[in-house]
Structure 1
Amino acid sequence: MGGRRVVVVGYDGIEMIDVACVTSGFEHANRLGAEPVYEVVLATPVGRPVRSDTGLELRGQGRLDTITGQIDTLVVSGGLGHEDAAANTRLLGQVKRLAATSRRVASVCTGATVLAAAGLLDGRRATTHWYHAARLAERFPRVHVDAAPIYIRDGTVATSGGVTAALDLTLAFVEEDHGPELARWVAMGMVTYLQRPGNQAQMSMFTSIPRPDQVLVRRVVDHVVSHLDADLGAANLGALVGVSERHLSRLFAQHLGRTPARMVRDARLEAATRLLADTREPLTAIARRCGFSSAEALRQAFVAQFGIPPSRFRVAHAAHA
C-alpha cells in the first residue's frame, strides 16, 4: 500500500491513553499531509477485542500471528496488564518475530516490561513509568533502566515514560520521518507541548519525592523536604536517625532505589522548579532557599537533570501558562 505500517501491540489490561497517543498522533500527521502516510493497526494476541484497565474494550484490526512482511514501527502498549503480558510466552514470541522485521521498535510506559521479557532491551538504556522503574531494573538486570527521561532512543529501540509521554515519543517519530514543521503542526493540532525533549524529566518535573514505608528512611525524607537549606550530607542524615552513613545508604538503595545524595538533589530540584514556575523570585534567592550554594550551582544541577537551564524553563513555563 506504500505507507509506513505501524503495528501497536495490545493485550488485556492495556492503558487506553497509551494506545490513543500513538494512534491519534500518527493519524493527525496523516491529516496534515504526511507522505507516505502512516497505516496504523492495533494487533491483539488472538484477534479478539482487548479489555483496557478502565474496563472499556478496544477492537483490534489484526491478529499478531497473522501479521507478516516489513513493519515500519512496532509499538508495545503499557497498562496494568503488562506483567501478565510479559509472562505470556506466545505473546513474547510474536513480539520478537515482529521486531525482527521492524525498522524501529518502541514501548509505551510499562510496555517496556514486555520488551525486556522478550530480550529486546538487553544491554540497552531504557525508561518506563517512573513508578515501575525500580521493579523493571530488579527483574531485568541486563537492562540499563533510567526512570528520569520522558523517552529514550537507543539505536533502533525506543522506550517512553508514563502514559502521555507516548505522545512525545510519537511526535519525535513524526519529526524524524517528516521533519520538525509537521511535528509542530501535529502538536498544535493535539493542543500539547511543541514536543518536549526526550531528556526532560517525567512527571512534568512536579511529582513529590516518594514517602517510603520504612520508618527510618521516611524520617530522613521528611526531614530533607522540610529543611532543604540545611546541611543534608549523608553523615548528618545518618546521625539524625542514629545509623551509620553506610547503613543509611543501604536502606535508601533498598527502599528508594537511590542514594541519600541523589534524593536530596531531587528534592531540591523539585522545590526549585516549583518556585521557578510559581514565583518571580530571582535565581539567587531560589538557589538559597533550596539549599544550593549559588545560582550557578542550581543552574548546573538543573541542566544535568532536565537538559535546559532554569531561566529557559521559567520562560517556557510562562509561555505555556
Structure 2
Amino acid sequence: MFFVIAAKKYPLYPVSMKKRMEFYFYQGMVALDVTGPLDVFNAADEILSRNGKEQEGYELTFSANTPGPIPTSSGLCFHADVCPGLEKADTLLVPGGMIAETASTDSDNIKAIQMAARKAKRIVSVCSGAFLLASAGILDDRRATTHWMVADRLAALYPNVHMEPDSIYVQDGTISTSAGVTAGIDLALALVEEDYGPSLAIEVARLLLLYRRRPGNQSQFSTTLAMQTKVGERFKPLVDWIETHLDQKLTVDLLAEKAHMSSRTFARIFPSETGMSPGRFIEQLRIDRARELLESGAEGLEQVARESGFGREERLRRAFQRRLGISPTQYRAHFIQGEHHDHRSYLRDTHL
C-alpha cells in the first residue's frame, strides 16, 4: 500500500501521457486515408519531442482482425500489429476505400470496430470509412460526411445518419467523419489542435507544407465535378455554355431557351436531374470560377466578382461565407502563404 502511494507521488520513471491512436486496417482500404492522418500525428509527436515534451504526443498502433500484412487498394501493404480493441484508445480511426461499402457488410469487420469503439474516447472515419461506422451503428442520429461520390449512397442506406455531403469534415461530439482522402489530413490537424492547441497544429501544417487547416464546413472542392456527373447528356451542352457565359445575367427563361425547353419544364426537370435549383447550380460554378481567379493571383476582388459573374464584391463575399465558410480574402491568403512561405527559415526555427 505504501509503495503504491509513494509511486503515485514520486514516480521513479516518467509517466507517458501520449495519446493512443488506433488505426483499423482491412483489405482494400486506400493508403492515403491512413498515411495522411498518420503523418500529421507523427509530425506532431516529433515537434513535441524536439520541444522537450517527449512524454506527450501520440502512440500510433495498427490493428486488424488478422494481424500481419494488409494490402491496400494500390497494392501497397501495411502491417497490423494487434487485434482491434485489445487496449483502450484515445482515438479509433477507420480509413475508407472503394471497397468500404462491401467491407461494411462483413460481420467480422463490424464486430471488431464495435469492440474497439467501446474502448475509444474518440472515433474517426476518413472518406468512405463512414460506411463501416454507419454499419456499426456509430453514426446513428449523428451528423456526418463522406466522399461526395458516395454521399447519396450512404444517406440512402442509413437514413438515421444526418448527412452533410458538402463539408470537408464534420465533428459531432466524440464522432468525427471526413470527406475524400486528403480531407482526412484536415481532420487530423483539427484533432491535433483539439489535443494540444492551435500553435502545434500550425507547426505541423507548416512542417508538412499544408494549410493550417481548411474549415470543416468548407465545401468539398469536388462539388462541381459531382454536379457535372449528375447533369448527364441532356444538360451537358447547356452547362458548357453556362461556363463560358458566367459573367452574364443567367435567368431561368434564358437557360430554358438554351436547353430548348419551356421555362416551366426546365424549372421542373433541371432540379430533378442535378439535385439543385438552377440558381444554386450557377452559384456553385461562379464560386469555382472565383476560386480559380483567386488561386491564380488575381488582385482586385471587384474584378474577381465581375469575371466570375457575381457582379459586386459584396455578393462574392456573401456567397463564399455561405458556401465555403471563409471570405475570398481568407481563401486567397491560403494560396499566397503556400506559395511564398520560406520553408528554410522554418527549418532553422525548429532546428531540423
> Please, what TM-score do these two structures have when normalized by structure 1?
0.89
User: Residue 248 of structure 2: SS of its match in structure 1?
Assistant: coil
| Separation of aligned partners in 2, 1:202 and 1:245 | 31
Q: Does 2:66 match 1:46?
A: yes
Q: Which runs of structure 2 are paired with 1:108-119 in the superposition (5 Å)?
A: 108-119=126-137
Contact 1:134–1:257 (Cα < 8 Å) also in 2: no
Q: Does 2:105 match 1:87?
A: yes
Which of 32, 56, 59 is residue 79 of structure 2 equivalent to? 59
Q: Does 2:38 match 1:23?
A: yes
What is the number of equivalent residue pairs in this alignment?
A: 319
Q: Does 2:314 match 1:303?
A: no
User: Which has the larger displacement, 283-292 or 235-244?
Assistant: 235-244
User: Which has the larger displacement, 165-174 or 30-39?
Assistant: 30-39
Q: Does 2:142 match 1:124?
A: yes
User: Residue 73 of structure 1: SS of its match in structure 2?
Assistant: strand
User: Residue 40 of structure 1: SS of its match in structure 2?
Assistant: strand
Aligned to 1:265: 283
CA positional deviation for 1:207: 5.9
Aligned to 2:169: 151
Q: What are structure 2's unaligned runs of at least 5 residues?
A: 1-15, 340-352
Aligned to 1:37: 57
Q: Does 2:240 match 1:225?
A: no
Q: Give the 3 Å change call, closer, same or farther, for CA 316–160 of structure 1 in structure 2.
A: same
Contact 1:205–1:270 (Cα < 8 Å) also in 2: no
Aligned to 2:212: 194
Pairwise CA RMSD: 2.5
Contact 2:298–2:304 (Cα < 8 Å) also in 1: no
**Could you give the per-residue CA deviations for residues 33-63 of structure 1, whole angstroms, max 9, x where no partner exists?**
2643322112112223221110111111112
Q: Which runs of structure 2 are paired with 1:216-295 in the superposition (5 Å)?
A: 216-243=234-261, 248=266, 251-280=269-298, 282-295=300-313
User: Which has the larger displacement, 186-195 or 30-39?
Assistant: 30-39
| Separation of aligned partners in 1, 2:82 and 2:331 | 43
Instruction: Decide which structure has the larger Cα Rg and report it.
Output: 2
**Could you give the per-residue CA deviations for residues 159-208 of structure 1, whole angstroms, max 9, x where no partner exists?**
11111111111111111111112222222222222222222333389868
Q: Does 2:228 match 1:210?
A: yes
Contact 1:269–1:302 (Cα < 8 Å) also in 2: yes
CA positional deviation for 1:296: 0.6
Contact 2:211–2:334 (Cα < 8 Å) also in 1: no
> Please, what TM-score do these two structures have when normalized by structure 2?
0.82
Aligned to 2:24: 9
Q: Does 2:117 match 1:102?
A: no
| Separation of aligned partners in 2, 1:227 and 1:208 | 21
| Separation of aligned partners in 2, 1:227 and 1:114 | 43
**Could you give the per-residue CA deviations for residues 239-284 of structure 1, whole angstroms, max 9, x where no partner exists?**
4324455654564455433332221111010001111222435222
| Separation of aligned partners in 2, 1:237 and 1:254 | 16
Q: Give the 3 Å change call, closer, same or farther, for CA 256–97 of structure 1 in structure 2.
A: farther
| Separation of aligned partners in 1, 2:325 and 2:117 | 31
Q: Give the 3 Å change call, closer, same or farther, for CA 286–277 of structure 1 in structure 2.
A: same
User: Which has the larger displacement, 85-94 or 140-149?
Assistant: 140-149
Q: Percent identity?
A: 35
